[in-house]
Amino acid sequence: MSGISEVRRLILTPLWRLSPVAIRRLLLVFVLGFLALLAGCGSLTSLYFYPQTVWIQTPDKLGLQYQDVWLEAADGTSLHAWWLPSQSHAGDAGTTLTEFDTVVLYLHGNAENISSHIRSVDWLPGEGFALLALDYRGYGASAGTPYMPAVLQDVEAAAAWIRQHYPDKRLLVLGQSIGAALAVNFVAKGAQRYGVDALVLDAPFAGFPRIARSALTSSWLGWLLVPATWLIPSDWDPQTQAAGIQVPTLVMHSRDDAVIPRQQGRAVYQALAGDKCWLDSKGPHIASFSFAEIRRISQLFMQSLNCAQVRSALASE
């Protein structure tokens, strides 16, 4: 469960039904929010990140070849990522590396780390894509503490590594949940510098203050903290930043998403300036790639790097 959905669950539960542990956890959230206010408005963004340092699994457990990649952000923070080359599995013969034209930079959601989120993108190497899966500062083996805008340095470091090692390959950025917010900010400002060819967003939220209010206004207890959300910086709101994106973009969002309302994903989609296509996803929050038809449509976009084939495929269904 993501950090946002966990806070939402605690707030929605009547106080008399919460266990002592849950009550302490909820009070901790309030205290952290108050301390963040005292420390400065910018530090409030750290409350959106729920990093985990322990790995659940590594790609080799999924039958995938991979390499550990070590990066350094502009401020000197040490970062870790997994590089998964394009590959095919030939039964007893093992895994064979294959040629690829496109590198996918994967930006995961706000909780845990790449070891749990890797299941969202573990299908890509077998479909002819190379993949760099980044852990933001504070996640997995990456050092530091995550907050905005420092985390955007991490994305830039990953993109710079890709361009240094694979300057002639096409670059597609794929972000889920808060990773989608980071992807929008990065592509809006750095698409030309890093040669970004296309963007895929799964369950983006419209703005940092807006998603906080959405989570809090579901109960009377949450309403007590709503005034604090007006102090959260809106400088990096995806809905605003999307207007600066010119590369082809595929946006998907599920009607069943209980963490980020679908209308927020629509708001980001409508704000995009360039070629764009919309895909109604399925399932709970960022479970899109669990469905074969969603993977199929996404693959059409990722291979062509434009929306024409997506529109054609959706029109024929």
pLDDT (tens, 9 = 90+) of the chain, 317 residues, equals 455 555 555 445 554 565 666 655 555 555 455 545 444 444 557 778 889 999 999 999 999 999 999 999 999 999 999 999 999 865 555 678 878 899 999 999 999 999 999 999 999 999 999 999 999 999 999 999 999 999 999 999 999 999 999 999 999 999 999 999 999 999 999 999 999 999 999 999 998 866 665 555 555 455 455 566 556 767 899 999 999 999 999 999 999 999 899 999 999 999 999 999 999 999 999 999 999 999 999 999 999 999 999 999 999 87
Structure confidence by residue, pLDDT tens digits, 172-220: 999 999 999 999 999 999 999 999 999 999 999 998 866 665 555 555 4
Note the pTM of the prediction, 2 decimals.
0.84
What is the Cα–Cα distance from 288 to 285, expressed in whole angstroms? Answer: 8
Please indicate, yes or no, if residue 228 is contained in any of the structural domains: no
Please indicate, yes or no, if residue 282 is contained in any of the structural domains: yes
Number of folded domains in the chain?
1
Please indicate, yes or no, if residue 227 is contained in any of the structural domains: no
Please indicate, yes or no, if residue 286 is contained in any of the structural domains: yes
Please indicate, yes or no, if residue 60 is contained in any of the structural domains: yes
Please indicate, yes or no, if residue 207 is contained in any of the structural domains: yes
Question: In terms of residue numbers, what domain contains 110?
Answer: 51-212+234-315
Q: Is the torsion defined by CA of 102, 197, 131, 299 positive or negative?
A: negative
Please indicate, yes or no, if residue 192 is contained in any of the structural domains: yes
Phi, psi of 70 (to 5 degrees): -110, 130
> Where does the chain have alpha helices with state H?
3-12, 20-39, 114-117, 150-165, 178-194, 208-216, 220-223, 226-229, 238-241, 262-271, 292-304, 308-315
Please indicate, yes or no, if residue 43 is contained in any of the structural domains: no
CATH number (domain holding residue 92): 3.40.50.1820
